[in-house]
Each structure stands twice: as C-alpha cells, then as structure tokens.
A and B are shown apart, each in its own frame.
Chain A
Amino acid sequence: SQTIHQWPATLVQPVGSPLSLECTVEGTSNPNLYWYRQAAGRGLQLLFYSVGIGQISSEVPQNLSASRPQDRQFILSSKKLLLSDSGFYLCAWSVSTNYGYTFGSGTRLTVV
C-alpha cells in the first residue's frame, strides 16, 4: 500500500537559520508531489509541485526552494528563515487528478 512520510513533526528554528523538510512516498512510482503551507487561521497555499525528478514548479515567490533528487523524495529548503515562514507544512502526492491527494502528517514550523 502507498504511504507518505513527512518529518520532523515539529521544529523550532531561529530567524536566519537554514531549513530542510523531507517527504518520502512508498508504494507508488512517478507520483506528482506537492508542498503546501497552512498559516494560522488561513487556508492551504500551494508552494511547489513536481511531476518528475528534477522538475520543480514554484507557485509563489518566496524565501523557500524545493528539490526532488529521487522519484519519491521531495525536499523543502530555505537558506535563511524569516518569521513569516512559520506555519504548518504539508507534503502530498497524487497519481492523477481523479484520485485527489494523499497528505503527510505535516510539520509544524515555528521561527523565533
């Protein structure tokens, strides 16, 4: 069966520090992968998506970047965190629009 792993679950980082969040998918090949951010009291904002290895599309200009070094691995990074980067980060995968998404359990990032 397909599973998605996202870690860490919580993270507290100082302003200006780097960030690396990892997401891996098991049990499927060539998934579409997504990073969303959910700020307090707000909806989900699509940050990045990827339809294949090395293919990254950015939805909004920001302080973050994403990479897909392997078929089922999706990494969200930042060189220097800002206070505004705080939020709940969700990774998701899909094989087609019909099936919708399967979400990871999320990472709560607090930048202090």
Chain B
Amino acid sequence: AQSVTQLDSQVPVFEEAPVELRCNYSSSVSVYLFWYVQYPNQGLQLLLKYLSGSTLVESINGFEAEFNKSQTSFHLRKPSVHISDTAEYFCAVSDLFSSNTGKLIFGQGTTLQVKP
C-alpha cells in the first residue's frame, strides 16, 4: 500500500531565507507526485506535480521539487520565502493502479510559518 510521510509538522523560517519541506513516499510501482498548498480556511490548490520526465519540477511562484527515486523522496524547496508563503503544504502520491480512480494519498501536512 502507498503511504506518504512529511517529516516536519511545522517549519518556522525567516522571510527571505531558504526553506525545504520534506516528503517521502512508499510505493512498489511507478508513482505520480504532487504538492498542494492550503491557506487558512480554504481548499487545497495544486502547487506542482511530477508525472514523468525531468525530475525537477517548478511552480509559478518560485517553488521547486525534485523527484528522487532511489530515496523515494519529493522534497519541496524555495530559495527565498515571503510572508505570503505562510500556509500548510501537503505532499500526495498516486500510482498507476489508481489511474482509473485517481485516488491520491496525502501526507499529514507541514505548516510553513514565515516570520518577518
């Protein structure tokens, strides 16, 4: 069975500092990987995704994530964070067996707290 582990429940960081949110998954087959962001009292928004090809994927607001198959990881990074990046971030995984249902398995979430 698939599972997703987000290693940090909270990550405090100062504005303009770099940040890494860690995500590890377990699956015996090829996977699709996603990062979602959730602002307070809102639904989740897709931040970026890895389906195939280049292992480094980027979002429009400066985040990037790298798929590492050997380490079964998909860590999210940003070189310089802003106050507006304060939110909860969820890593999610799906595999080819779930392609008909599209089921995603989510991690527990990481709260990114950007301080001035």
- Is B106 within 8 A of A43, CB to CB? yes
Segment 67-112 of A: residues with Cβ below 8 Å from B = 90, 92, 94-98, 100-106, 108
The interface residues of chain B lying within 8 Å CB-to-CB of A28 are: none
Whether the pair A43, B107 counts as a contact (CB closer than 8 A) is: yes
The reply to whether the CB of B71 lies closer than 8 angstroms to some CB of chain A is no
In the complex, what's the smallest C-beta–C-beta distance from A5 to chain B, in angstroms? 11
- Report A-chain residues with C-beta under 8 Å of the C-beta of B106: 36, 43-44, 46
Is A98 in contact with B101, judged by CB distance below 8 angstroms?
A: no
Q: Which of B43, B106, B109 has the most CB of A within 10 A?
A: B43
- Interface contacts (Cβ under 8 Å), in number, total 67
- Tell me the complex Cα distance, A57–B94, Å: 17
B90/A98 in contact, CB under 8 A: no
Q: Which residue of A lies closest to B109 (CB)?
A: A43
Contacts of A51 in B (CB 8 A): 100-101
Q: How many residues of A contact B (CB 8 A)?
A: 26
| Contact (Cβ within 8 A) B102 A43 | no
CA distance A57 to B92 in the complex (A): 20
Q: In terms of DSSP, what is the predominant structure of the interface of chain A?
A: strand
User: Nearest Cβ in chain A — how far from B47, in angstroms?
Assistant: 10
Q: Are B102 and A106 in contact (CB under 8 A)?
A: no
Q: Are B98 and A97 in contact (CB under 8 A)?
A: yes
B45 contacts chain A at the CB level, 8 A cutoff: yes
Q: Is the CB of B108 within 8 A of A42?
A: yes
Which chain B residues have a beta carbon within 8 Å of chain A's beta carbons? 6, 32, 34, 36, 41-46, 49, 51, 90, 92, 94, 96, 98-109
A residues near B (Cβ < 8 Å) are 6, 32, 34, 36, 42-44, 46, 49, 51, 57, 90, 92, 94-98, 100-106, 108
Closest 8 CB pairs of A and B: A103-B43, A43-B108, A44-B106, A94-B102, A32-B102, A103-B44, A97-B94, A97-B102
